[in-house]
Structure 1
């Protein structure tokens, strides 16, 4: 679409300013830089919420105060609630005529990286990196015929629904894996009430760790992980430990990784940088730095998936975090010995855990496939948005 067909945003939207005078609306939301509403993290104890702004379904809110700092406009459409309240400092608005511009189409435009880049240029004159309301209203966008907008929105939302469906499936699979683990190794089990032949031992008795250290100068592949701003709360797909990125890395001590190995960061364990390598493609030359421990099971009845759940049990996670906080290293860290000394319940050899291991492997493998599918779908969405208006 040519620039001649671009129109001023302010000609299609109008400000709304409805206050929560009667305190009828209780849902307080903020906006993240991913452009979604989220539960507010503000401490509002003792705060008069009657001055907060009400946003209704299909209305928008945005925070113009830190655009220069974040290089994005935190802006979102309310679609999960009929109404909510937001900070009185937010700019709240709605579309003037739904027969001319669809709210969902406008939100797609707000998600384009080009929109944020253009908005960033308007912040140069503000020492706080803020953007003025008038500058936002003066920004422009293409407004195709309403039928074309409906088609664009339908295609985009079909992909979004598939992503959400995959996320729900991932959550159910996680819950299944955790339920199986807790039933076998947590609920109703203690030192005085162990199944016959079971005993209390250490993780080191049932694992191999860091057995493939190398120091060659070969050009290998190194696993990378997302930074903390990209982390989801998913216990299985937090980090891109499932994927390998082709990268020449400096000559230093490295550890080779095999398919299905557990990879656990010994630095800043509170960030929970861990996962299982589930990518089967070209894994023979994959390495991690020595900041990661590479762990695999050596117990005949404990799969790596089950071992992963034992290692990342909340009790063990909290124990390692406590050790890290007391460490004298530059960054809070644990040693491989700390990990190997974790207390765990060890089943006797030949315990029939085959069914449990089989189900856990299915859960982990399917989570990986759904995670990878979402990565591809999100890339498609990004490409879709990049082509919007062209």
Structure 2
């Protein structure tokens, strides 16, 4: 296996935005993508910012703030953009020798992150500087082999993106169905027609200060669940954490708009899990972050044992209401307004179990049962797609791991 010094194939780029011709400002995330910057640039001299062009890289040399990840990314979605002066911009010297996309695959490897963290140095903050990046060793096969590796990786990546898009559409459709039935009150009447627009009888409800369908009740969410509680509150310490083994401990950072993330999991020892019964999770439980306006509600949809840290857990009474119906309810605009009102208008306030328990939910047994069944079909398909996603992500990781196993040729051959 022949490894090459990366510095022999890359070179720094230091072009400033002196003419202010480039306005797209990007930042490098620890997910190794360039994304729109959220930095406050009012009063900032944008002439000093660096220009990055398509197929060029940017990375943040400071590693002490990023946990185990190195902030490095390849620009692919724009022809030109600007990044902060704090980033180092560089490019491949000769794309006939190294494909930028192949190199980016190497940077995505967890082994690269570990190497960079190990090589980082400094007292107040640790830095993985340009010289150390250049000293990185990696295999560089023929350009044809690189193209094959990149094509295979991109095929898997595109399938992942397609599945994510399908799930986003399924979630949006489920949310729209919930709104149609439980907000607009256009659920099917006895004749299968939309209730309200077909002249369905409405009655004023004092508690909500609005009209609701006749025969509907208003219930506190607590009455429709088995339990609403807070999981283990505290920090993860070595005394009860396992190293990449044990029981997964889900945190607020694992709650995403795509659902529960099972990447980069933290683990606790079995005895810790058994001791903390209250925070043990079962499939169908809903986790709500304790900070923010609506807490990013997410359904725990895995079949393995897990515990949770610093989150509110809602355990639905599935005889009365499905997990997906509660999930759609928590994500609705109306519920967010209820939560915001309970927080007193502050987005920084901490959610507690009382706020969640006291949320008011419309309920009518036959209608609730019917929409629960319909939304359950959506959730089953979402879980099926997510299962495919996990398999694709494992394949993606395997392709990155196999980069050291390709049959290599020297550049002179």
Q: The TM-score by the shorter chain falls in which range? A: 0.7 to 0.9
1:292 equivalent in structure 2: 313
Q: 2:336 aligned with 1:313, yes or no?
A: no
1:68/1:118 CA distance change after superposition, 3 Å: farther
Q: Distance in 2 between matches of 1:325 and 1:117?
A: 44
TM-score (norm: length of structure 2) = 0.74
Q: Tell me the equivalent position of 1:219.
A: none
Among 214, 230, 235, the alignment partner of 1:196 is 214
Deviates more, 1:135-144 or 1:94-103: 135-144
Which residue number corresponds to residue 369 of structure 1?
384
Q: 1:1-390, aligned counterparts within 5 Å?
A: 2=1, 5-66=2-63, 70-125=67-122, 127-187=124-184, 191-205=209-223, 207-210=224-227, 224=248, 226-234=250-258, 236-237=259-260, 247-248=270-271, 249-251=273-275, 253-254=277-278, 260=284, 262-264=285-287, 272=295, 274-279=297-302, 292-299=313-320, 302-317=321-336, 319-320=338-339, 332=350, 334-335=352-353, 338-347=355-364, 349-351=365-367, 354=370, 356-390=371-405
Q: 1:256 to 1:90 in 2, by over 3 A?
A: closer
Partner of 1:218: none
Cα pair 1:268 1:324 within 8 Å, conserved: no
Structure 2: runs of 5 or more not aligned? 186-195, 197-207, 229-245, 406-413
Cα distance in structure 1, aligned partners of 2:253 and 2:247: 18
Give ranges in structure 1 of 5+ residues lacking alignment.
Answer: 212-221
Alignment RMSD (CA, Å): 3.6
Provide the C-alpha distance between the structure 1 equivalents of 2:93 and 2:262, rounded to a whole number of angstroms: 42
Query: Is the 8 Å Cα contact of residues 288 and 298 (structure 2) preserved in structure 1?
Result: no
Match of 1:216 in 2: none
Q: Between Structure 1 and Structure 2, how many residues are aligned?
A: 359
Aligned CA distance change for structure 1 residues 166 and 282 (closer, same or farther; 3 Å): closer
The 3 A distance-change label for structure 1 pair 295 and 324 is farther
Measure the CA separation in 2 of the matches of 1:273 and 1:97. 45
Aligned mates of 1:141, 1:51 — CA distance in 2: 33
SS in 1 for 2:11: strand
SS at match of 2:317: strand
Shift of 1:208: 3.5
How far, CA to CA, are the matches of 1:97 and 1:22 in structure 2?
28
Secondary structure of the residue aligned to 2:383 is: helix
Query: Please, what TM-score do these two structures have when normalized by structure 1?
Result: 0.78
**Partners of 1:291 and 1:191 in 2: CA distance:** 29
- Provide the C-alpha distance between the structure 2 equivalents of 1:108 and 1:87, rounded to a whole number of angstroms: 24
Distance 1:266 1:117 in 2: 30
Could you tell me how far apart the structure 1 residues matched to 2:9 and 2:22 are? 27
Cα distance change of structure 1 residues 303 and 69 upon mapping to structure 2, 3 Å threshold? closer
1:83-131 CA-to-partner distances (Å, cap 9, x unmatched) read 2110122111111111111011000111112222222233235642112
